[in-house]
Amino acid sequence: MPLYEDALGDWRNAQFLARASDLSYYPEGEAMPKFRDELGMQAHLISRGNTQAYILTNDEHIVVAFRGTEAPTSIEGLKDWLLTDAMNLLILPEGRLGTDLAAAGVGARFHQGFVNAIADIWEPVFEIVSAERKKADRPLWVTGHSLGGALALLFAWLCQRRFVGVHQVYTFGGPMIGNTEAIAAFDRELAGKIYRCVDPHDPVPELPAMSLVANRYSHCQRELGLGERPAGGYWSGLASQVVGDVLSGNGIDQVWAYINARIGAHSMTTYLDHVKKRLT
Report how far apart the first and last C-alpha atoms of the chain are (Å, whole number).
Answer: 15
What is the pLDDT at residue 63?
Answer: 98
What is the pLDDT at residue 149?
Answer: 96
**Contact between 10 and 24 (Cβ < 8 Å):** no
What is the pLDDT at residue 71?
Answer: 56
What is the pLDDT at residue 222?
Answer: 87
0.85 exceeded by pTM: yes
What is the pLDDT at residue 123?
Answer: 94
Q: Read off the amino acid at residue 48.
A: R
**Contact between 160 and 189 (Cβ < 8 Å):** yes
What is the pLDDT at residue 105?
Answer: 86
Q: How far apart are CA 49 and CA 39, in angstroms?
A: 27
What is the pLDDT at residue 39?
Answer: 96
Which domains does the chain possess? 11-278 (3.40.50.1820)
Q: How far apart are CA 101 and CA 113, in angstroms?
A: 14
What is the pLDDT at residue 255?
Answer: 80
Compute mean pLDDT per 10 residues along the chain, 280 residues long, and list them: 89 95 93 96 92 95 90 64 68 79 86 89 95 93 95 96 94 92 93 94 83 74 82 73 63 80 88 90
What is the pLDDT at residue 166?
Answer: 95
Closest CA to 210 of 171, 180, 172: 180
